C-alpha cells in the first residue's frame, strides 16, 4: 500500500494505492473516487447497539465500508466531510489511541473500535465529546476541522473540549469547568479537559460548534 495525504492542511484528502488483497476500512460516505475494480462491503463494526450509540451521540455512522481492489492494484481517494487536516498514526498492540468520535476517517481492517464515554460532564458541555478507543495493530487516519496541532503532554495540560481530536490512551483526563462560576458563564469557554500524564495529544484549530454558534443567530426566523 502506498499512501499520500494531499491538498492539506485546509483540504486534506487521502490517496491510497492498494495492492490486490489489501483492505481498508473507512467511515461511511468518505469515498471521493476509486478505480473501477474496487470492491466495497458495508458492515456494522463494534456491535449494532454500540454503533447506534456512536451514531446518536458521536455523529459517527453506524455502518463502515471496507474497500479492496479486485484482480489488480487500485486507487482509493478518501475525503472527510469537513475541510481540514488528516493525520496518520501506526497503532501498536497495547498502545490504543482515543479519537473524538467524528474524527475517524480510515484504518486497517483489523483495528478495533470501542465506544468510550467522555464522562457525564462532557455530555452536558454540549461539545458532543464522545470518544472512540482504537486498538490493535495497523494504520489509522483521522481528520479534523481546521489544522491539527500535536502536543507532547508531560505533566498537565488543558484543552477546550471542542478542540480535542485524538490522544494516546496513556493520558488521563478529567472534564472540568474552566474556572469559577463567573468564568464558567462568561468566559465563553464552558468545559475543558484537563490531561495529565505523558503522551501525545492532537487538537484542532477550529470547531464545528463555534461555526454553528456563529451562523445560527443569522438564520431567518
Query: Which residues here bind other proteins, judged by CB under 8 A?
Result: 6-7, 10-13, 27-36, 38-42, 59, 61-63, 65, 77, 79-83, 208, 211-212, 215-216, 219-221
Phi/psi-derived region of residue 186, left when phi > 0, alpha when psi is between -120 and 50, beta in every other case: alpha
Find the shortest distance in angstroms from Cβ 73 to other proteins.
13
- Residue 152 has which C-alpha cell? 507532547
Distance CA(93)–CA(214), nearest Å, equals 42
Find the shortest distance in angstroms from Cβ 53 to other proteins.
17
Cβ nearer to other proteins, comparing 40 with 158: 40
Find the shortest distance in angstroms from Cβ 95 to other proteins.
30
Distance CA(169)–CA(140), nearest Å, equals 14
Reduce the DSSP state of residue 40 to 3 states and report it.
strand
Sign of CA dihedral 213, 217, 218, 220: positive
Find the shortest distance in angstroms from Cβ 153 to other proteins.
29
- Residue 181 has which C-alpha cell? 462560576
189 in Cβ contact with 133 (< 8 Å) = no
For 70-104, b where at least 16 C-beta lie within 10 A, e where not — what string?
eeeebebebbbeebbbbbebebeeeebbbbbbbbb
Phi/psi-derived region of residue 190, left when phi > 0, alpha when psi is between -120 and 50, beta in every other case: left
Cβ nearer to other proteins, comparing 17 with 169: 17
Cβ nearer to other proteins, comparing 96 with 109: 109
Cβ nearer to other proteins, comparing 51 with 53: 51
Find the shortest distance in angstroms from Cβ 149 to other proteins.
17
Cβ nearer to other proteins, comparing 13 with 204: 13
Find the shortest distance in angstroms from Cβ 196 to other proteins.
31
Cβ nearer to other proteins, comparing 6 with 174: 6
Amino acid at each position: 500500500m502506498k499512501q499520500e495525504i494531499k491538498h492539506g492542511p485546509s483540504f486534506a484528502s487521502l490517496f491510497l494505492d492498494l495492492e490486490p488483497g489489501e483492505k481498508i476500512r473507512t467511515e461511511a460516505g468518505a469515498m471521493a473516487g476509486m478505480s473501477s475494480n474496487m470492491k466495497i462491503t458495508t458492515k456494522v463494526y463494534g456491535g449494532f447497539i454500540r454503533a447506534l450509540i456512536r451514531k446518536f451521540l458521536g455523529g459517527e455512522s453506524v455502518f463502515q465500508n471496507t474497500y479492496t481492489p479486485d484482480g489488480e492494484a487500485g486507487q482509493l481517494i478518501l475525503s472527510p466531510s469537513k475541510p481540514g487536516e488528516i493525520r496518520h498514526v501506526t497503532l501498536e498492540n497495547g498502545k490504543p489511541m482515543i479519537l473524538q468520535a467524528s474524527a475517524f476517517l480510515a484504518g486497517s481492517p483489523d483495528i478495533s473500535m470501542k465506544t468510550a464515554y467522555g464522562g457525564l460532564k462532557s455530555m452536558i458541555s454540549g461539545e458532543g465529546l464522545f470518544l472512540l478507543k482504537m486498538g490493535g495493530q495497523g494504520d489509522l487516519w483521522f481528520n479534523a476541522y481546521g489544522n491539527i496541532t500535536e502536543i507532547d503532554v508531560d505533566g498537565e495540560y488543558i484543552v477546550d473540549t471542542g478542540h480535542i481530536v485524538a490522544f494516546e490512551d496513556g493520558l488521563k483526563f478529567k472534564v472540568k469547568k474552566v474556572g469559577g462560576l463567573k468564568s464558567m458563564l462568561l468566559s465563553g469557554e464552558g468545559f475543558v479537559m484537563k490531561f495529565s500524564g505523558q503522551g501525545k495529544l492532537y487538537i484542532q484549530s477550529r470547531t464545528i460548534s463555534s461555526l454553528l454558534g456563529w451562523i445560527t443567530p443569522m438564520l431567518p426566523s
